[in-house]
Amino acid sequence: MTSSSFGNPLVQQRSLLKGLAFVELEDQAVLEIAGPDAKSWLHALTSQNILNLKTGESTESLLLDPQGHVEQQLKVIATEAGLLLILPKSKLADFQAWLQKMKFRTKVEISTRDDLRVIASFAALEQALYSWVDHFSAGSPGGVRYAESARAFDYQEHLVGLDQRIDLEPASPMALEGLRIAAGRPAINDIDERALPHEFDWLASAVHMSKGCYRGQESVAKIHNIGHPPRRLIILNLEEGDILSQQGDEVFYQDKLVGKVRAAALHYEAGSVALALVNRNTPYLDLMVQTVSGRYAATQEVLVPFDAGKAANLPRPSAFKLSGKK
């Protein structure tokens, strides 16, 4: 079904926020990890504390490469049998193949759950067999938030049967995308090959800072404690409200290229909005976005501040003091 089949996405956004509508996430898959070692195994592989999840509880976790770059965003639900993971269908095959290589003698069984659909809403769903609750706004235990405050985003994803009827109005993924961007909520489609969780403020919901021994953990701790993430996530509000940006559009401060748009959509109140990654030292001033139809001014809303990181507050070596670097 195309986005035009749903009607006006800006009207749908209001219905979604009121709990009157849902979005069918046809691009999402469900993976099950069952067995007595399910929690301890995924806990050791990813960034979040999964070991202590109780049945019915949910969390968010990241799979990182050895340098700490984001590879996978996992929405995790604890069940009596083990764990259910929600992730994009486009990333399922690679992730499942990697998990199979990491099994060794672990007592787990990995399988896709093609009998389940993924439904998004901003309210509880009676028909849900399992539900994933987004903790990005509230933060997760053991996490760290760089933003001064978090915007409300009471988002949930529900797993239902293939033939289950949903007694709400259907809305388009485009409508949901506008709400997500306006809330400053990162998603896996926003990343590039250099993406670090710090740049997206993902340490608030998907990384447990007291947990060690997972791939990429050393880089996560080093950047947070003694460094700064090289880029920072911002919201852009284009002054031309009917001009829609797109991923990859270049962002300029005056005539200097400072970053790129990672996601864009229309919002029922804010108009044309985008998430962009810009260089850490980009001034907190208005920017310009180069779209296919021209270059347009955009106001900047800071999500991750330029001084994010360096939590240990260790003194710099004398060579840096003499050079004036910070």
Contact 19, 156 (CB under 8 A): no
The pLDDT, as a whole number, for residue 1 is 52
Give the C-alpha distances (Å, rounded to integers) separating 133 from 75, 117, 158.
9, 16, 9
Same domain, 88 and 236: no
Q: Looking at 163, 186, 221, which one is the last position of a domain?
A: 221
* Residue 319 falls inside a structural domain: no
Show the domain range for 254.
230-302
Mean pLDDT throughout 226-250? 95
Same domain, 213 and 251: no
Q: Looking at 221, 251, 267, which one is the last position of a domain?
A: 221
Same domain, 107 and 203: yes
The pLDDT, as a whole number, for residue 255 is 94
Same domain, 142 and 247: no
**Which pLDDT tens digit goes with each residue over 52-66?**
999 999 999 999 999
The pLDDT, as a whole number, for residue 319 is 42
Same domain, 51 and 74: yes
**Which pLDDT tens digit goes with each residue over 267-322?**
999 999 999 999 999 999 999 999 999 999 999 999 999 999 999 775 655 443 44
* Residue 318 falls inside a structural domain: no
Mean pLDDT throughout 64-73? 98
CATH value at residue 41: 3.30.1360.120
| Mean of pLDDT over the chain | 94
Same domain, 79 and 166: yes
* Residue 323 falls inside a structural domain: no
Same domain, 278 and 187: no
The alpha-carbon radius of gyration of the chain (Å, integer) is 20
CATH value at residue 278: 2.40.30.110
Q: Greatest CA span in the chain, whole angstroms?
A: 68
**Pairing of β 21-24 and β 231-238:** unpaired
Give the C-alpha distances (Å, rounded to integers) separating 22 from 27, 52, 153, 156.
15, 30, 15, 10
Residue 6's pLDDT band, with cuts at 50, 70 and 90, is: confident
The structure tokens listed for 73 are 């965003």
The pLDDT, as a whole number, for residue 62 is 98
| Separation CA 99–CA 110 (nearest Å) | 8
**Which pLDDT tens digit goes with each residue over 134-178?**
999 999 999 999 999 889 999 999 999 999 999 999 999 999 999
Q: Is the pLDDT of residue 5 over 80?
A: no
* Residue 141 falls inside a structural domain: yes
% of residues, the chain, pLDDT over 70: 94
Residue 180's pLDDT band, with cuts at 50, 70 and 90, is: very high
Q: Is the pLDDT of residue 325 over 60?
A: no
* Residue 117 falls inside a structural domain: yes
Same domain, 164 and 194: yes
| Separation CA 224–CA 158 (nearest Å) | 33
Q: Is the pLDDT of residue 323 over 50?
A: no
Give 1 or 127, the one with higher predicted confidence: 127
Residue 186's pLDDT band, with cuts at 50, 70 and 90, is: very high
Whole-structure pTM value: 0.93
* Residue 320 falls inside a structural domain: no
* Residue 239 falls inside a structural domain: yes
Same domain, 213 and 240: no
The pLDDT, as a whole number, for residue 254 is 95
% of residues, the chain, pLDDT over 90: 90
* Residue 178 falls inside a structural domain: yes
Residue 18's pLDDT band, with cuts at 50, 70 and 90, is: very high
Number of domains in the chain: 2
The pLDDT, as a whole number, for residue 212 is 83
